[in-house]
């Protein structure tokens, strides 16, 4: 008698967890595919300014990044405090920007080469002089489409 | 006699745990980042063949000095007033009605000493070599905002939608191509009404 009672009073049947690994794997694969490991480690300060009228940089395959800013504290002994240009993992001089951009564009598939945008990720404390020099170099190699990469936000916060 | 009972079954009970571990690792390291920023076109190196003479009244000069102060049309200006000034200049439409250059959609003051029409109005931006990048971006942003505000107004009038919204939809890769054609026409028409003419002169060295 008690046996029957036990079985009948048993609450809900246990939920089958057999498919749990499958679900977790699915999520896992999703995150594995969307993950981008940070490829270059920045040796410069790179706090971007805010802007409100921004446009999204859609496709990543047609963007060449150039970082500009003051070297980080731990590198300042070696590289000084003047703003530097960093691409991929190294500092380059202003005069090398043109050739770097050309070679970076050359590595892209041919169909995309005409659509390449140069994304300038510039620290907000950098001086315009260096950026003007970089722009001049870009004009020399005819890479005219540029994007001043910024955070989205209130512009007047820049001035503080 | 050894019995061959096939390989013993591997216990897969811990698979979920392993998968969870990996999942959490990727969850933590993932940054789904999309960069955004201000798009600009640099002027080509070769100077245009014919030198166009531009009337002084069609140029809106913005000067930024090394301390981040702004000189707009030879007047010291607060950054917060820049957008309104730029809009007033672009939207002025100074040509008298009846002439070919008359701007029938402008709502400005129609001051004869300011720009003739939006197609002729040029904003000239000049900065010092020691200007801070943040200030420069703020100024750029305000000037783009001035154009966007005027374009939005025209887009609202013609299509009952914001220009920025139209443009985003046009640039979105998921938009179907037939819709894109339609949007392209609209976007180009609005851009034609207020063409973005932002010239950046060579920087002056500090003095």
- Each residue of A116-139: pLDDT tens digit? 999 999 998 888 889 989 998 998
Backbone angles phi, psi at A81, to 5 degrees: -110, -5
Nearest Cα residue to A121 out of B190, B37, B47:
B37
Tell whether the model's pLDDT for residue A5 goes beyond 70. no
In a domain, B181, yes or no: yes
Q: Are B138 and A158 spatial neighbours (Cβ–Cβ below 8 Å)? A: yes
Please list the pLDDT of chain B residue by residue as tens digits (207 residues): 556 667 777 777 787 788 888 888 888 877 666 788 888 888 887 776 666 777 888 888 899 888 888 888 888 888 889 999 999 888 888 777 777 778 888 888 888 888 888 888 888 888 888 888 889 999 999 999 999 999 999 899 888 888 888 888 888 777 888 888 888 888 888 888 888 888 876 655 544
ipTM of the complex as predicted: 0.75
Cβ density class A46-78: b for 16+ within 10 Å, e for less = bebbbbbbbbebeeeebbbbbbbbbbeeeeeee
Say yes or no to pLDDT of A37 above 60. yes
Tell me whether residue B132 is in a domain: yes
Nearest to B140 by CA among A50, A47, A144: A50
Instruction: Choose from B35, B44, B126, B143 for mutation: most chain A CBs within 10 A.
Output: B35
Out of A31, A142, A158, closest to residue B134 by CB? A158
Query: Best mutation site among B30, B37, B168 for testing chain A: the one with the most A CBs within 10 Å?
Result: B37
Where in the sequence is the domain holding B123, given as residue range(s)?
Answer: 56-200
CATH architecture of the domain formed by A50-159 = 2-Layer Sandwich (3.30)
**Of A20, A53, A132, which is closest to B141 when you measure between CB atoms?**
A53
Question: According to the model, what pLDDT value does residue A7 have?
Answer: 52
Looking at the structure of chain B, the number of domains it has is 1
Helices (H) and strands (E) in chain A, counts: 5, 7
CA distance B169 to chain A (A): 12
Domain assignment present for residue B156? The answer is yes
Q: Is B77 part of any domain?
A: yes
Q: Check whether A108 has a pLDDT greater than 60.
A: yes
What are A122's strand-pairing partners? A68
Contact A31 B26 (CB under 8 A): yes
Exposed, middle or buried: residue B72 (CB in 10 Å: 0-12, 13-18, 19+)? Answer: buried
Q: Do B129 and A147 touch (CB under 8 A)?
A: no
- Residue B3 inside a domain? The answer is no
Residue B206's pLDDT is 44
CA–CA separation, B42 vs B134, rounded Å?
19
* φ/ψ (deg, to 5) at A4: -60, -45
In whole angstroms, give the CA distance from residue B46 to residue A142.
10
Cβ–Cβ gap A51/B30 under 8 Å: no
CA distance B12 to B3: 24
B35 assigned to some structural domain: no
pLDDT at A6: 54
Whether residue B185 is contained in a domain is answered as: yes
Q: Residue A154's closest chain B neighbor by CA?
A: B138
The domain spans of chain A are 2-34, 50-159
Largest Cα–Cα distance in chain B? 112
Q: Could you tell me the strand order of the sheet in which B198-200 lies?
A: B75-77, B70-72, B59-64, B122-127, B198-200
Pairing of strands A55-56, A63-69: unpaired
Contact call for residues A46 and A87 (beta carbons, < 8 A): no
Q: Assess contact for A74 and A153: CB atoms under 8 A.
A: no
Confirm if A121 and A151 have CB atoms less than 8 A apart.
no
Please indicate whether, in this complex, the C-beta atoms of A24 and B39 are within 8 angstroms of each other: no
Predicted local confidence at residue A134, as pLDDT: 92
DSSP code for B46? S
Beta strands in chain A (DSSP E): 50-51, 55-56, 63-69, 84-87, 90-92, 117-122, 145-152
Provide the CA B165 distance to its chain's centre, in angstroms. 13
Which has more confidence, B57 or A35? B57
According to the model, what pLDDT value does residue B4 have?
Answer: 67
Interchain CB distance below 8 Å, B42 and A140: no
pLDDT at A4: 55
Distances (CA, A) of B70 to A158, B85, B139: 15, 12, 9
Query: Which residues between 82 and 141 in chain A have a beta carbon less than 8 angstroms from any beta carbon of chain B?
Result: 117, 119, 121-129, 131-132, 135, 138-140
How many CA atoms lie within 13 Å of B160's alpha carbon, on the beta-carbon side?
Answer: 0
Kindly identify which residue of chain B lies nearest to residue A129, measuring between CA atoms: B129
Confidence tier at A102 by pLDDT (50, 70, 90): very high
pLDDT for position B207 = 41
Chain B residues touching residue A40 (CB < 8 angstroms): none
**CB B171, CB B184: distance < 8 Å:** no
The CA distance from B79 to A49, in Å, is 15
Label residue A28 exposed, middle or buried (CB < 10 Å: 0-12, 13-18, 19+). Answer: buried
pLDDT at A16 over 50: yes
Contacts with B, A 36-75, CB within 8 Å = 36-38, 49-59, 63
> For residue A65, is it left (φ>0), alpha (ψ between -120 and 50) or beta?
beta
């Amino acid at each position: 008698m008690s046996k029957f009672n036990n079985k009948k009073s048993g609450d809900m049947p246990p939920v089958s967890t057999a498919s749990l690994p499958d679900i977790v794997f699915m999520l896992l694969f999703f995150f594995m595919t969307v993950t981008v490991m940070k490829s270059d480690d920045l040796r410069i300060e790179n706090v971007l300014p805010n802007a409100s009228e921004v446009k999204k940089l859609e496709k990543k395959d047609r963007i060449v990044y150039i970082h500009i800013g003051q070297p980080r504290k731990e590198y300042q002994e070696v590289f000084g405090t003047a703003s530097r240009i960093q691409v991929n993992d190294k500092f380059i001089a202003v005069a090398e920007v043109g050739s770097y951009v050309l070679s970076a564009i050359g590595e892209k598939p041919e169909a995309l080469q005409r659509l390449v945008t140069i994304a300038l990720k510039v620290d907000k404390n950098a001086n315009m002089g260096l950026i003007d020099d970089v722009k001049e170099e870009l004009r020399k190699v005819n890479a005219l489409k540029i994007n001043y990469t910024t955070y989205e936000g209130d512009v007047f916060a820049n001035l503080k | 006699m050894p019995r061959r009972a096939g390989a013993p079954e591997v216990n897969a009970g811990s698979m979920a745990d392993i998968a969870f571990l990996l999942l959490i690792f990727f969850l933590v390291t993932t940054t789904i980042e999309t960069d955004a920023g201000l798009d600009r076109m640099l002027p080509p190196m070769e100077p245009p063949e014919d030198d166009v003479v531009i009337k002084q009244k069609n140029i809106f000069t913005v000067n930024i000095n090394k301390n981040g102060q702004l000189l707009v049309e030879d007047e010291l200006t607060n950054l917060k007033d820049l957008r309104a000034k730029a809009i007033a200049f672009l939207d002025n439409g100074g040509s008298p009605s009846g002439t070919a250059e008359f701007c029938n959609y402008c709502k400005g003051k129609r001051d004869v000493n300011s720009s003739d029409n939006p197609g002729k109005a040029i904003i000239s931006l000049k900065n010092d070599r020691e200007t801070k990048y943040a200030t420069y971006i703020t100024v750029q942003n305000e000037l783009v905002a001035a154009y966007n505000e005027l374009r939005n107004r025209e887009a609202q009038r013609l299509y009952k939608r914001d220009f920025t919204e139209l443009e985003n939809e046009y640039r979105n890769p998921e938009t179907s191509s037939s819709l894109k054609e339609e949007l392209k026409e609209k976007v180009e028409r609005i851009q034609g009404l207020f063409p973005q003419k932002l010239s950046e002169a060579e920087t002056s060295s500090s003095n």
